A and B are shown apart, each in its own frame.
Chain A
C-alpha cells in the first residue's frame, strides 16, 4: 500500500491530503449524523426508565407499581385512553386447561374477533391470537386447512379448527428465548414481558402452532375501542418490536372469568376451566371425551385439547 504522491513534494502533498482528509471527515460525520437522525429522534422518545426497566420477575412491588403508573400515563398520552393496568398473579391450586369441540365449532370466527377486541390488537393489521382453519372432513392434516375461507359456514364437507396458543407444558418458545422474556407461569399460562423482549423472533420460529405474534409496528387502536381492563402480562397495549401471544385472557381468567373467545362462541364449542378441580367442565371433557392435542409427536404437551362428539 504505497502512497502515490511522488508527483508533488511531500509537504504540499501532505497538506493537501490532510485538507482532503479533514473535508472527507467533516462530510462523513455530517452524513453519519443525517443517516442516524431517525434513530436519535426515536431514542429521544424513549424514556430512561423504560430503557433501564428490570425484568418482570426482578421488579419489587414498588417498582412494578411505578412501571404500571408509567405505562398507564403513556397510554393516556399516546392513545388518549384512561386504562387500568393490573398485575394479575396466578391463583394457587389452579391449572388452566382449554378444550374445543370440533363437532360443534361452525367456523364463524367470532372467537378471533373477540380476541382482537379484548386484547387491544392493532386495528390495521386485524391481528388476533386465533386462526380458524377450515379442514377437510376425514383428515386432521393441517396441510388441507385454509384460514382464508369466505363463504357461509359450516360447509357440509368441512370442519373448523381454531388454533391459538396451546400453553404447552414443554413450550419450545420458552426454551429458545435468549433473555428469558417469556416463561410459563404457575397456572400454566405462557406469558411475555413485553418490556423485556428484544424482538429476535426466535420464539416465533420455534412455536409449532403459529401462536406468537410480533409487533411489526406500534399498535394503533382508536381511543374509544381500547379495552381499559388490562393486565401487565396480557392485554395492555404492546410496545413496538416486542413479541406477544395468547394468555388465555389472564386478566379475566385469573379473576375467575371466562376468556373472551369462549364468551364469544355462539355454539359452546369452547370449554375452559381448572384442570385441578375434579368437578370442572374441562375435567369432565378430558375424562369423558376422546380428546387429542395438535402435533402430539413434538412432545410439547399442549394444554389445549380438541375433541369430536360421538
Chain B
C-alpha cells in the first residue's frame, strides 16, 4: 500500500529469517502497545479468561462432577458452544467467497477480518473440546502416530483433522499475507490463492463434519436427520456474517482501517438469503417432527412444548425463534443498510438466536429424553458458565490481538522500515 520502491529494494536484499524475526517482534510490539481503551479491554478479557482458567483447573482436579452434566445429559454447555463456534469459523468463508471467487475488490480489502475470525473461532472450538475432556492429560492419545487415532471410523477424528487443518490453512493465509505486506512485497498468488480455495471447501467441511458427529448417531433420533448438516451450514452463514458486520463496525470506529459500506452491504445480502433458508429448514424440521409424531418426536416436544411437566428448554427455544424471526424482519427491511442501529440489532438478534438454537436448542434436547426415555433435565452450573465465559474472553483476546497486529500492517502504518506511522 504505502511501500515505496526504495524500501522494496532494500527488503529484497535482506536476509529472510532476520526479517521474519523482525516481523514477529513487531507483531509482539503491536500486540502489547495500545490505547487505554485497548489496555482496559485486554485487562478485562484477561481477568475473565483467568476466572475461566481457574474454574477449569478446579474442574480437572475435582472432576466433572462440578458441572451439571450427567450420564443422561452427557454433553452440555461446552459442546453447545463448540458447535456454535464451528459455525462462526465456517461463516467467515462468506467473506472469502465474494472476495476471491467473485473478485469483490472492496471485500478483498477487508477479508482479513473474516479470516482472523476463523482463526479465533477455531481456537475457541479447540478450547471448548479440551475443557469437555474428562482426562485432558491424555490429549496425546488423539495425536495421530503417537496415540491411537480411530480414523476414519470415528467422526471425532475427522473433526480433529478438519478443525486443525482449517486453523493451519487460515494461519498460513493470514500469516503469509501479513508478512508480505510487512515486507512491502506483492503477495505471490501461487503461495496463497490455492490455499484460499482449499479453505473455502474446508470451511464447508468443518461444519459438515461437526454435523455428522451428531447426525450419525442412530440412537439419538433428534439429531439423526439428513437436514442437520445443511442446517448447520445455513445457520453458520447467518451467524458468521452477523458477527463480522458487528466487528467491521467496531473496527471502523476504533481504528484507521477503512471499511466501506460495500462489504457490509454484501454481507447483509448474504444474510438475507441464508437467514430465510435457515427459517425454512427450521420449519421443515418442525413439520416433519410433529406431523409424523411418535416416540421419535419426544425430544422435539420436550424442546418446544415441554414433556410430562419438564420444560426447562421451552423459554430458550422460543427466545431463539423470536430472535431469529425479528432478525429476519430487520434484515429484510430495505432501510437496514442506511439505519445502522437496525442492522446492529438485527445482527445481535441473529447471533443470539443461532447461539441458542445450536447450543441449548440442539445439543441438550438430543439427550432429553435419554435413550431409555428417562427425563433428566440440564441447566449449566456456575462453573460451566465461568469456563465458557473464560473461553469467550480468550477467543476475543486472540481476535483482538490478531486484528491489532493485522490492521496497521494492512493499512501500511507499519512495515519493515516503519515502526508506526504516527509514533515513529
What residues make up the interface of A, taking CB atoms closer than 8 Å to B? 1-5, 10, 17, 21, 24, 28, 31-32, 34-39, 41-43, 46, 51, 55, 131, 133, 141-145, 147, 163, 172, 175-181, 196-202, 204-210, 212-218, 239-243, 295, 298-300
Measured in the bound complex, the distance between the Cα atoms of B139 and A176 in whole Å is 16
Residues of B within 8 A of A28 (CB): 46
- Contact A177/B154 with A205-B217, A241-B134 known, Cβ cut-off 8 Å: yes
Q: Does B62 contact A (CB under 8 A)?
A: yes
B132 touches A24 (CB 8 A): no
Q: Which of B60, B138, B153, B373 contacts A196 (CB 8 A)?
A: B138
Cβ-neighbour of B135 out of A2, A198, A218 (below 8 A): A198
Asked whether B218 lies within 8 Å of A299 as measured between CB atoms, the reply is: yes
Residue in contact with B54 in the complex, picked from A38, A196, A206, CB distance below 8 Å: A38
Chain A neighbourhood of B341, CB < 8 A = none
Please, how many angstroms separate the alpha-carbon atoms of A3 and B32 in the complex? 11
Complex Cα spacing A143 to B372, Å:
7
Check A176 against B155 for contact (C-beta < 8 Å).
Answer: yes
Q: Is B141 an interface residue (CB 8 A)?
A: yes
Are B135 and A241 in contact, with the CB atoms below 8 A?
A: yes
Pair A131/B142 contact, Cβ less than 8 Å:
no
Complex contacts, A145 vs chain B, CB 8 Å:
372-374
Q: Show the binding face of B for A, using Cβ within 8 Å.
A: 30, 32-36, 38-39, 43, 46-47, 50-51, 53-54, 56-58, 60-65, 67, 69-72, 74-75, 129, 132-139, 141-142, 147-150, 153-157, 160, 213-214, 216-220, 255-256, 295, 298, 366-367, 369-374, 404, 407-408, 413, 420, 422-423
Contact of B61 with A163 in the complex, beta carbons under 8 Å: no
Is A199 touching B157 in the complex (CB atoms < 8 A)?
no
Q: Are A241 and B404 in contact (CB under 8 A)?
A: no
Q: How far apart sit A163 and B371, CA to CA, in the bound complex (Å)?
A: 11
Cβ-defined partner of B217 (8 Å) among A4, A31, A206, A214: A206
Whether B141 contacts A208 by the Cβ 8 Å rule is: no
Q: Which residues of B contact A51 (CB under 8 A)?
A: 137
Distance between Cα atoms of A116 and B303 in the complex (Å): 33
Q: Are the C-beta atoms of B147 and A147 separated by less than 8 Å?
A: no
In the bound assembly, the distance between CA atoms of A131 and B54 in angstroms comes to: 36
Decide if A180 touches B148 in the complex (CB within 8 Å): yes
Q: How far is the CA of A279 from the CA of B375 in the complex (A)?
A: 42
Contacts of A207 in B (CB 8 A): 219, 371
Q: Sorted from nearest, which 5 A-B pairs have the closest CB atoms?
A: A199-B134, A208-B219, A241-B134, A217-B63, A35-B54
Most B Cβ at <10 Å: residue of A197, A216, A242: A216
Check A197–B135 contact: CB distance below 8 A: yes
Q: Cβ of B422: which chain A residues have Cβ within 8 Å of it?
A: 2-3
A178–B150 touching, CB < 8 Å: yes
Taking a contact as CB atoms under 8 Å apart, the answer to whether B137 and A4 are in contact is no
30 contacts between A and B (CB under 8 A): A1-B256, A35-B53, A36-B53, A39-B57, A55-B147, A55-B148, A145-B372, A145-B374, A175-B153, A176-B156, A177-B154, A178-B142, A178-B149, A178-B156, A178-B160, A181-B148, A196-B148, A197-B138, A198-B134, A198-B135, A205-B217, A206-B217, A210-B71, A210-B370, A214-B134, A216-B67, A241-B60, A241-B63, A242-B134, A242-B135
